[in-house]
Structure 1
Amino acid sequence: MLAADLYGTTDHRPALVLLHGLTYDRRQWGPTLRELAQVDPGRRVLVVDLPAHGESPAPDSYDSGTLTALLHETIEDAGLVDPVVVGHSMGAVLATRYATTYPTRGVVNIDQPLLVGPFAEFLRSVEPALRGPDHLQVWNSLLAGMHIDLLPESAQELVRTRTTPRQDLILGYWQELLGSDAPADLNAGMRRDLKTLRDASVGYHFISGSDPAPEYRSWLEAIRPDVVVTVWPDSGHFPHLAHPDRLAALLAAPRSGE
C-alpha cells in the first residue's frame, strides 16, 4: 500500500488522483489542493506518494505493471471508482499507463511529452555517469533546464527542498528507458497506450509550460485527434506550481445544471 492523503467526500463529481514527478512527493500538490478547496470544495482527492518516494515503500520491481498495480491497490483501498488521474512528469507516464489497464475517467498529463525516444537516447549517452558517483551532476543538469526560476519563490523552495534524487530511485524509474535498444519501440509503446485510451473513450488533456515542439504536437494529435492541449507560457516544467489556481479551475467539476 502506498502512502496517501484522502480529502473530500464521495458525491457525483469524479474523484481526482494526483501523482507527483520523479524524486518528489505528495507535498508538491499543496498549492493545488489549497486552490481546489476554494473553487471545488469537498471534492474527493487522493494524493499519493509514488513507490519509493516520500513515505511509500520501495517496490519489488520498477516495471510499469508493478507500479500501476500498487497504485490501483491504493486507489481501490480509498474507495475511488473511475477517477481522473493527474500526473506531473514521470507521474504522467504512470497516469497514462494506469489508464490503459484500470477504469479511469480521464488523464491529465502535466508537462510530460510521451515521444520518449530522444530522451532515452540522451540517458544512454550519460548512463556511465548515472551509474557512478556523479549521478547527481546529471540530475542537476536536467533540473537546470526545467526553468525553476519562473516559479514563485515559495514554489521554488518546494522544488529545491522536497526532493530525494537517490541513485537507486532514478535508475529504477528510468530502467525501461535505459534498457531499450530501440527508442522507436518506446515511441510505439506510447502510441499503443494513447490509442488504447482513445478506443476506451478516456479523455486526455496535456498541459505544457511552453509551446510543444511542432513535431511532438503533430505526433500526439495524429494519435489522439481529440486531445486537449493547454499551454501556460513561461511556466517551465512545473506549470502546476506556477499556476495552481489555473489547474484547480481546470480540474473543478461542473456544477449541477451547468
Structure 2
Amino acid sequence: MTTTGVRLGDLVADLTGTDDGRPPVVLLHGLTFDRAMWAPVVEALGGRRAVAVDLPGHGDSPPRASYAPAEVADVLHEAVTAAGLKAPVLVGHSIGAVLATAYAARHPARAVLNIDQPLLAGPFADLLRSVEPVLRGPGYLSVWTTLSDGMGTEELSPSQRALLRSTPRQDLLLGYWKEVLETSPEELRRQRTDELTTLREQGTGYHHVSRAPLPPAYVRWLRSLLPSAGTTVLPGSGHFPQLARPASLVEILSGWG
C-alpha cells in the first residue's frame, strides 16, 4: 500500500507498506531537504510499513514559529499517532537524527538509526558561530553553499542526486540551528547525554552510520551512555548513504525486527 501526500496532524507524509508484525519505520530527512530522498530506502524495505515525513517548514509541511528539537519531536509524535503507529524505529538523516534521538527520549520508540550526524556539535558549532553575522544577513546562502559543497554529492549518481530537493531558506537555517547557535557546548552535551541516558534506561536500540570512522573520543562518549550502540562506516556515499547504500541501512534495521 502506498499513500502519498497524507496530512498527519501538522505534517505531510508518504505512507508505504503494510503492517507485518515488525516495528514500523519513520523516516526523517535532513535540513532543507524533503521526504523524496527516502525513495531508495522505501524500495529496499520491501513492503515493511514506513512513513516518510516532511519536517516542519520543509516540503509540503507548514512552517512553525519554533523548531526546537523537543517541540518538533512532539509534532512528529502527533503525526506518528495519526498514522496509527506504535513504538516505531526512527531513521534520521543529519539534523533528522538529532530529532529522532529527541523523539525517542520523549515518546515510545523501538530504536534510532542515526545517519551521519554526530550528536555533539563540536567544530560544527564553532563554525556556525563564527559565520553567524553572515548567516543572519542577505548573504546567508554562502554559508549553506560552503556546507553543501562538503556533503559529497559528487559520489552519487545523477538519479540519486535528483532526489535531493533542497530549499535552504534563511528561516529554516536559523530556526533549526538556533539550538547550536544559542546554547553553550556544555549545555548541548548535557542535553544529548540526558537523552541517551533515557534511551539506555528504556532499552531503546541505537546505531550510528557514518561516511568515515567516528572520532574515538566520540565513540567512547556514546558507548559510555549506550554500551550497546552500534556503529557502521559506509564509505563512498558522501553524506547520503540512504541514497547510495539503502540495502545496508535496511540490513541494520532488520536487527530490530
Report the 3-state secondary structure (helix = DSSP H, G, I; strand = E; otherwise coil) of the residue aligned with 1:207: strand
- Code of the aligned partner of 2:67: Y
Describe the superposition over 1:175-231 as per-residue Cα deviations: whole angstroms up to 9, x where unpaired: 111112x21211121111111101110000111111112222222122211101011
Q: Percent identity?
A: 51
Q: TM-score, normalised by structure 1?
A: 0.92
- Partner residue of 2:174 out of 165, 171, 174: 171
- Code of the aligned partner of 1:208: S
8 A contact 1:18–1:87 mirrored in 2: yes
Cα root mean square deviation, aligned = 1.5
Distance 2:102 2:135 in 1: 25
Q: Number of residues paired by the alignment?
A: 248
8 A contact 1:129–1:135 mirrored in 2: yes
Q: TM-score, normalised by structure 2?
A: 0.92
Query: 2:32 is matched with which residue?
Result: 23
Please state how far the C-alpha of 1:150 moved relative to its aligned partner. Answer: 1.4
| Unaligned residue ranges in structure 2 (runs of 5+) | 1-9
Q: Is 1:156 matched up with 2:157? A: no
Distance 2:163 2:149 in 1: 15
- Code of the aligned partner of 1:4: A
8 A contact 1:14–1:83 mirrored in 2: yes
Distance 1:11 1:60 in 2: 38
Q: Return structure 1 stretches of 4+ with deviation > 6 angstroms.
A: none
Report the 3-state secondary structure (helix = DSSP H, G, I; strand = E; otherwise coil) of the residue aligned with 1:3: strand
1:101-140 superposed matches below 5 A:
101-140=106-145
Distance 2:161 2:18 in 1: 31
Query: 2:248 is matched with which residue?
Result: 246
Q: Is 1:2 matched up with 2:7? A: no
Report the 3-state secondary structure (helix = DSSP H, G, I; strand = E; otherwise coil) of the residue aligned with 2:163: helix
- Code of the aligned partner of 1:26: R
| Unaligned residue ranges in structure 1 (runs of 5+) | none
8 A contact 1:118–1:183 mirrored in 2: no
1:1-258 superposed matches below 5 A:
1-37=10-46, 41=47, 43-159=48-164, 162-180=165-183, 182-252=184-254
